[in-house]
Every structure is written in C-alpha cells, then in structure tokens.
Structure 1
C-alpha cells in the first residue's frame, strides 16, 4: 500500500510509515496533513503522502556507516568515471591512500575495474578522468530509503522535503 513520509514539527524527515498509521496520527490530532495523493479513505478525508507532527520530537544524531553497500547505493551502483553499471564494481579513493587519502564519504567513489586500473595511483585530474558526481556524505540515515521512493518514480512530492535527492 501507500507509504507516508513523516516530518518533524521543523519539517525535517523523521521516518516513513504506512498510510493507516498516518491516518491514526491525523485523527488523534498528533499530526497534520501536508501532501495527499488524491485518493480518499472517506469523502473529505484524503490519504496523506506527507504528514507533519504538531510537536517537535528530539532525535539523537545517528552516524551513517561508511560501508561498501552504502557507497554503492549512494553512487547508484554505477562507475563514477564512465557510468558502467554491472557486477564488476570496485571502490576507488579519489585521493589515493598512498598519498594520505582517507577512508571517508568525500574520498571514496564507485568505479569499474577498468577505470580503477586506468586511474591507478593518481588523482582524477592527473589521470584526465572526470567524476560524474562529487562524492559527499548523505544528509541523514533516512536518505537512502527516501531516495529509493523518489527515484523510483513514486512519491515525487517527497523531494522538496529531503535535502540532496
């Protein structure tokens, strides 16, 4: 069924829930409807796609782990040099580790084996290779899940509430 983006009182994305839970929050007065999809539960009561909580919820900061899976997902499972999408993808340090390049979101990208070998122990500029997207850290742990729905074509209305998608 339909998913609903839940925003904090400050319009910061908190999580994704199902439409039934969202309707319960609306009926109890704990949230207000921000966006709807044109479908109705009852006449005059549309099914929400985005709701905002009326009271601010304090959320502890959660670090997004730097894992191979997360980097591949951030880069759309494609080489950041040539655009190849397939099974033979590796991770490449933009500033090579031999030159004191760190293991960080801003220094690691997805690369195919061919481009990784071609780049070698050089920076992209030295190898005359252009990065398709500058690597950066995702803004929140919810980023990947929201991106899946927005980039998948459903819930385009979520895009204006999430930074970096």
Structure 2
C-alpha cells in the first residue's frame, strides 16, 4: 500500500500528494470524493470491496496561501536529478552556492545547485567562471505543479489532466 494519490482542492487545482490509506479514509468519511480510481487494483475487507483511489477531490475548499516548493536539500537534489551540475557524478553529493556565501551569495533556489565533494572543493570560494567550471544548467525555482509532475518520482497517467497534459522533463 505504498501507492500515492493526487489530492485536488474543491476547485480541481492540485493541492498535494498523500498516501493511499489517507486518501481512502478521506473518501470513506465523505471529506473527499473519488475522481479517478485504479483499473487494476481494489481494496478488500472481509465483506466488501472498494475502489483503489488515484485522484480525489476535497469537498471543502482549503485555503492554501503558500503553494510553492520548500527549499530543502532533498528538493535541490531532486531538481538537479541527483547529479553534480559540474561533472555529472552521482557520488558524494553536496550543495554548492553558485555565488559563494562569502561574496554575499544567497541561500535560494536561484543560487543553490547539487555538486559532488570534489567539484565543490575545486570551486571553493570562486564563481564557476573564475574556477573555469561550466554549469550543466542554471539553477531555478520549480513551480509547485512542475515539482509534482517532474520531480516527485511518482507519475500516474490519471493525474495528467490536473497537473499537465504531458510529462515534460527539464533538461
């Protein structure tokens, strides 16, 4: 039961992803309605069978003032594909400030990248240009829907009408 379910707000906008047991409970308690279900799986009790949720919609609108992606180490790694943005390695990953903190570089989506320990120490307190190192791609802040679609590691085709028509990978 490790499957995930897309949770929509009352206006059908993507709100979050939750576990299947949590989604089932919301539907069972009439706090949400089933929008899409698995065609291959069902939940079974001793005497009943229930649809296995894939997409649910909350019955009441939830005001969610900040609908962004939280800046965390794991989210930076996900955005960068768990690869060093200088050499492409996936070993011994760390975070690197493109403009070093010693030069008033901020801790932000636009200034943090994934780097291996070797490249991070080679760059040191220089900018990539000063160190003669090329970034694979410029850092950016992903939108909430982009993060759900491209970086959550979970993709169900039944989610596409709500989080984007196609699965676009960022290069």
Calculate the TM-score normalised by the size of structure 2.
Answer: 0.65
Q: 1:131 and 1:37, CA in 2 relative to 1: closer, same or farther beyond 3 A?
A: farther
CA distance in 1, matches of 2:122, 2:25: 56
CA contact (8 A) 1:7 1:14 kept: yes
Structure 1: runs of 5+ lacking an equivalent: none
Matched, 1:77 2:82: yes
Q: Which residue of 2 aligns with 1:134?
A: 138
CA RMSD of aligned residues (A): 3.7
CA distance in 2, matches of 1:81, 1:159: 33
Calculate the TM-score normalised by the size of structure 1.
Answer: 0.67
Q: 1:118 and 1:24, CA in 2 relative to 1: closer, same or farther beyond 3 A?
A: closer
Number of aligned residue pairs: give it. 157
Pairing 1:1-165 to 2, within 5 Å after superposition: 1=1, 2-10=3-11, 11-19=13-21, 21-27=22-28, 29-38=30-39, 39-41=41-43, 46-61=51-66, 66-87=71-92, 89-140=93-144, 147-150=151-154, 155=156, 157-158=158-159, 161-162=162-163
CA contact (8 A) 1:6 1:17 kept: no
